[in-house]
Amino acid sequence: AQSVAQPEDQVNVAEGNPLTVKCTYSVSGNPYLFWYVQYPNRGLQFLLKYITGDNLVKGSYGFEAEFNKSQTSFHLKKPSALVSDSALYFCAVRDMYPSGGSYIPTFGRGTSLIVHP
């Protein structure tokens, strides 16, 4: 079975400061990991993914995430937050070779990021 946890409902950060949105996962094998962002009344937009290779993944809008296998984490980061980054962020995981043949990713419950001017 696969699962993902976003331990924070909300993250508050001042504009210009670095931000981190946390995500931990559990899979039986190797993971595929994703981050998505959702602006109000919109669908989700793909930010970045980890499939294999470098543990540090760079994505859209200056975001990056670091895959840490020992800590089973995939935290989303940005060096300098913008007010426009305020949105709902979702982490998702999928087992690379799922048993039973299901390739459906599991989504976290979402973390609301609020960047204050």
- Residues in contact with other proteins by CB under 8 A are 32, 34, 36, 41-46, 49, 51, 90, 92, 94, 103-105, 107-110, 112
Min dist. Cβ of residue 101 to other proteins (A): 10
Residue 26 CA to residue 56 CA, distance in Å, equals 19
Kindly tell me which of 78 and 105 has the beta carbon lying closer to other proteins: 105
Min dist. Cβ of residue 47 to other proteins (A): 11
- The number of helices, as runs of H, and strands, as runs of E, in the chain is 0, 12
* 63: enclosing H helix or E strand: none
The Cα angle at residue 64 between residues 111 and 104, in degrees rounded to 5: 60
Min dist. Cβ of residue 18 to other proteins (A): 25
Kindly tell me which of 42 and 58 has the beta carbon lying closer to other proteins: 42
Min dist. Cβ of residue 109 to other proteins (A): 4
3-class secondary structure, 62:
helix
Kindly tell me which of 21 and 44 has the beta carbon lying closer to other proteins: 44
Residue 90 CA to residue 21 CA, distance in Å, equals 9
Kindly tell me which of 39 and 80 has the beta carbon lying closer to other proteins: 39
* 51: enclosing H helix or E strand: none
